[in-house]
Homo-oligomer: A and B are copies of this chain.
Amino acid sequence: MDVCPASITARPRAVHTAEREVYPGYVNPPIVIRPAEPSDHDAIWQVLEPTIRAGETYTLPRDLSRQAALDFWFAAGHAVFVSECQAEVWGTYFLRANQQGGGRHVANCGYMTAPHAWGRGLARAMCLHSLDLARERGFHAMQFNFVVATNTRAVRLWESCGFQIVGRLPLAFHHPTVGLVDGFVMYRQL
Contacts and interface: CB of A to CB of B under 8 A. Distances in A.
Contact of A174 (B102, B171, B172, B176): B102
Nearest to A61: B101
Nearest to A140: B171
A59 B101 contact: yes
Interface string A39-53: 000000000000000
Interface stretch (A24-32, A155-163, A181-189): A181-189
Given A61-B100, A99-B59, A168 B166 contact: yes
Contacts of A148: 102
A115 B94 CA distance: 38
Nearest to A57: B102
Given A145-B145, A185-B185, A102 B176 contact: yes
Contacts of A173: 102-103
B166 A143 contact: no
Question: Which residue, of A61, A102, A175, A189, has the highest number of chain B Cβ atoms within 10 A?
Answer: A102
A175 B59 contact: no
A58 interface: yes
Interface of A: 1, 6, 55-56, 58-62, 64, 99-106, 140-141, 143, 145-146, 148, 166-176, 180, 183, 185, 187, 189
28 contacts: A1-B174, A6-B61, A56-B102, A59-B99, A59-B100, A59-B104, A60-B100, A61-B100, A61-B101, A99-B146, A99-B172, A102-B173, A102-B176, A103-B172, A103-B173, A106-B169, A141-B172, A143-B172, A166-B167, A166-B168, A166-B169, A166-B170, A167-B169, A167-B185, A169-B187, A170-B187, A170-B189, A172-B187
